[in-house]
Structure 1
């Protein structure tokens, strides 16, 4: 006779209705605000900026070595085997007349407003700090003025006239003679020095797009008293400084992007005109000495003086460059959380928002779990 089978979960109801005597509760943190969706125009703009970064931010040490090699080897070849004449071989070409001869003016035209707008933003409106950053262009202008006039003085006072009737350049040329002096290339100096200054000043835009995320998260943290972003670079800013940062970033970023594109375009033009100068103007020694002086001035100021003064581009009241990568810690010694954070997929150097938000949510869940364990 078949026996009646017992239910598999005889006391399922009682177990489901069981409640612990003590209930544990914790305050859940709200999610961080998500970034606004990007439009097609913004995506295209980011692509253009990415190309500009790749074009402008070549390793400066490599670029300086290329400059030195071209000034020596290519100039030497041009002296021995003259290159065929072209549009750029004429000093009357439009790029030489309207750009190179006014080279430092064009450099200041884009670098000056870029420096003002960027420094005002990351210095949170502190005018004394903005003036300190502006001092770099003042020193660079003095270097340009001193060396260009020095080159002209050497060429005018250390030469000879053909015929040898006259001892000064002005009298010689006025009498229809030809003056042969040691004509150090002012164009080579201006083009190389301007390009190196543009590269250094443009470095303030590295990590610039990430400031938007810092502002959004910091604003959320301050309004919700969220301590999970206590390691934010903006945590030490006062309320006034934070509001100035937010306002100036939103107001000036479109102009900063446009100026950065202009700086990249000008840098490419300076490189093209430098090749033209190497191929068609002056002799090798005149160009090499001028280029060496330009490189020396750049090294003394940006690699030594400004670094010693802590006055490099991008140094303000908070740090925003290379925040996601801890280069001082070896890869095999980094924690798993750091590795996961640094492995976020990126597009053109910027972290993908979806992947970053997933990582932030997982971090919040870990914080909540640790809070529960603490109370247990």
Structure 2
């Protein structure tokens, strides 16, 4: 258990830091741009990660939102209750996950619709002979054809959004003081380590996507949507009263209590 505490203490300055959170959107854009430049101008040799059927892609990235949800649900519940001691405040903060689910579902649906609207079905990967009778990607693929449309990178969108969301939610660690409760301390640190590990996987796979897959414009729009979803929620809507709100901070709570007592 001491190992978990040491690892958590080592990672907190990186994931929980306000400076890191502010720099992460620009860092994601830089990773996307750097990886895209490598892909176009100095292609990286094919590796295990360039195969779409690599284990990380199959068992983590394909279920990126589910993994993020599974870990954030107990983390938000336990840490927010520990700080606020208010069930209603915890329920309000958990609605952040409903908002995230709606964003994920809506954006991926829009991406698929755009690909259908902008694409055509071809008989072979060489894109020389059209299948005129197939009007969307699903019909085309069922007929054994190849659909060529504007395929906005769902990986670039979702992995950037998940990484930014985890960074925002783990900011509550600034206010979590569990030294007097070893069991709670262990649980929260374990969840924090799992979220930290998940963030590293998301960032690595985001960079891998930039190096091996999609055109630059497809990755750019995907990343832009992910950052915009984060900005529209955590930097705008969640600052207003009628919203899930931001992770609680002890300093803010103390200020509010002192104001009520005046």
TM-score with structure 2 length normalisation?
0.85
Q: Among residues 70, 77, 102, which one is paired with 2:63 in the alignment?
A: 102
Q: Among residues 109, 116, 141, which one is paired with 1:156 in the alignment?
A: 116
| Structure with more of its chain in helix, by fraction | 2
Cα offset, 1:298, TM superposition: 0.5
What is residue 230 of structure 2 aligned with on the other side? 298
SS of alignment partner, residue 176 of structure 1: coil
User: Is the CA contact 1:191–1:274 (under 8 Å) kept in the aligned structure 2?
Assistant: yes
What is residue 125 of structure 2 aligned with on the other side? none
Can you give the 5+ residue segments of structure 2 that lack an aligned partner in the other structure? Answer: 123-128, 255-262
SS of alignment partner, residue 57 of structure 2: helix
User: Is the CA contact 1:55–1:264 (under 8 Å) kept in the aligned structure 2?
Assistant: no
User: Is the CA contact 2:179–2:185 (under 8 Å) kept in the aligned structure 1?
Assistant: no
User: Is the CA contact 1:129–1:316 (under 8 Å) kept in the aligned structure 2?
Assistant: no
The answer on 1:176 being equivalent to 2:137 is: no
What is residue 220 of structure 1 aligned with on the other side? none
User: Is the CA contact 1:155–1:181 (under 8 Å) kept in the aligned structure 2?
Assistant: yes
The answer on 1:133 being equivalent to 2:93 is: yes
**Per-residue deviation, residues 283-323 of structure 1 (Å, max 9, x unmatched):** 10000111011101101111121123382112479748xxx
**What RMSD, in angstroms, separates the aligned Cα atoms of the two structures?**
2.3
**Per-residue deviation, residues 11-58 of structure 1 (Å, max 9, x unmatched):** xxxxxxxxxxxxxxxxxxxxxxxxxxxxxx54x443211212133235
SS of alignment partner, residue 161 of structure 1: strand
Cα offset, 1:175, TM superposition: 2.6
1:296-375 equivalent positions in 2, closer than 5 A: 296-309=228-241, 311-315=245-249, 319=253
Q: Among residues 38, 42, 53, which one is paired with 1:81 in the alignment?
A: 42
Cα offset, 1:176, TM superposition: 2.3
The answer on 1:188 being equivalent to 2:148 is: no
Cα offset, 1:134, TM superposition: 0.8
Q: Among residues 1, 4, 7, which one is paired with 1:48 in the alignment?
A: 7
1:61-72 equivalent positions in 2, closer than 5 A: 61-72=22-33
SS of alignment partner, residue 85 of structure 1: coil
Cα offset, 1:259, TM superposition: 0.3
Q: 1:250 to 1:129 in 2, by over 3 A?
A: farther
TM-score with structure 1 length normalisation?
0.60
In structure 2, distance between residues paired with 1:86 and 1:262: 27
Cα offset, 1:154, TM superposition: 1.1
Can you give the 5+ residue segments of structure 1 that lack an aligned partner in the other structure? Answer: 1-40, 214-248, 321-376
Cα offset, 1:141, TM superposition: 1.3
